[in-house]
Amino acid sequence: MKVVLFCGGLGLRLREHSENTPKPLAMLGDRPIIWHLMSYYAHYGHKDFILCLGYRGADFKDYFLNYNETVSNDFVLRAGGREVELMGQDISDWTIRFVDTGLHSNVGMRLKAVQQYLEGEEAFLANYSDGLSDLPLDGYVQTALDRGNIATFISVRPTAAFHFVDTEEDGTVNSIRSITDSSMRINGGFFVFRQKIFDYLREGEELVVEPFARLAAEKQLVAHRYDGFWQCMDTFKDKLALDELVERGEEPWRVR
């Protein structure tokens, strides 16, 4: 199945990490987070990618056009460096389509912009480019397809360190509790869409607002509960948490 990745946003909340690096290209170990995500999909056989570009789109093109396989693969060097024999490869069987979907486009507009490249696909996958998970993708996708709904996404527990506060009218606090201890769940991405998603998406609309509301009204939207590992890189603090996992050699998203 084709995989659409939304990677054109400005990533303003990660600017304290780097003013000039698009969030999906922020490094985790030797590779950027988008590479980790694409490797995850490729592990399950989904190697046909559509990158929805916007902010600093040329950076994504440059990264893959100048991709260095020796960074994450063993190799043999001969003839004083003139000959390199790779002992493994990462992306040799990937197909990556780079599509400029606009600097200020929202996610819905970016999806609409690549509709022509999804014609003939009964179903396809889509995702944000700043989150990782150990979700068993094959079983999840099959479950979504078997149910027959138009759109499915995973719902996860929030990881942000915020607190819900319940108060009286005068501000007296009745209770305060961590958002992670609540029953509330958030959209974790990892979308499975049928082609009919485009019938619900109108020009300029944000994907999870108007289109999802229409789908929900017709019982065509499913939130798949997942309580395994999931972490987005929304802020610099989130990046530090992922960096710490890499440094400890604990990378739950690395399926082998």
**Which residues form the domain of 228?**
2-155+186-247
C-alpha distance from residue 34 to each of 128, 129, 142, 166, 241 (Å): 9, 6, 24, 38, 16
Higher pLDDT: 35 or 75? It is 35
In a domain, 252, yes or no: no
In a domain, 176, yes or no: no
The angle formed by the CA atoms of residues 177, 179 and 180, to the nearest 5 degrees, is 105
Average pLDDT value for residue range 91-108: 92
Percent of the chain with pLDDT over 70: 93
Quote the pLDDT of residue 161.
62
In a domain, 178, yes or no: no
Higher pLDDT: 74 or 7? It is 7
pLDDT digits (tens, 9 = 90+) for 125-155: 999 999 999 999 999 999 999 999 999 999 9
Question: How many separate domains does the chain show?
Answer: 1
Q: What single DSSP character describes residue 150?
A: S
Average pLDDT value for residue range 104-119: 94
Quote the pLDDT of residue 17.
54
Tell me the pLDDT band of 87, cut-offs 50, 70 and 90: confident
CATH of the domain at 222: 3.90.550.10
Q: Are 150 and 196 in contact (CB under 8 A)?
A: yes
Average pLDDT value for residue range 184-207: 93
C-alpha distance from residue 10 to each of 14, 132, 186, 232, 243 (Å): 9, 19, 21, 16, 21
Q: Are 21 and 70 in contact (CB under 8 A)?
A: no
pLDDT digits (tens, 9 = 90+) for 2-37: 999 999 877 655 555 556 788 999 999 888 999 999
In a domain, 29, yes or no: yes
Which residue blocks in the chain are alpha helix, DSSP H?
A: 33-43, 57-65, 107-113, 137-147, 210-217, 236-247
C-alpha distance from residue 27 to each of 40, 76, 234, 242 (Å): 16, 25, 14, 10
Report the distance separating Cα 59 and Cα 76, nearest Å: 29
Quote the pLDDT of residue 157.
86
In a domain, 59, yes or no: yes
Q: Are 111 and 7 in contact (CB under 8 A)?
A: no
Q: Can you give the pTM of this predicted structure? A: 0.87
Quote the pLDDT of residue 16.
54
Average pLDDT value for residue range 66-83: 79
In a domain, 195, yes or no: yes
Query: Phi, psi at residue 218, to the nearest 5°?
Result: -100, 15
The angle formed by the CA atoms of residues 59, 63 and 67, to the nearest 5 degrees, is 170
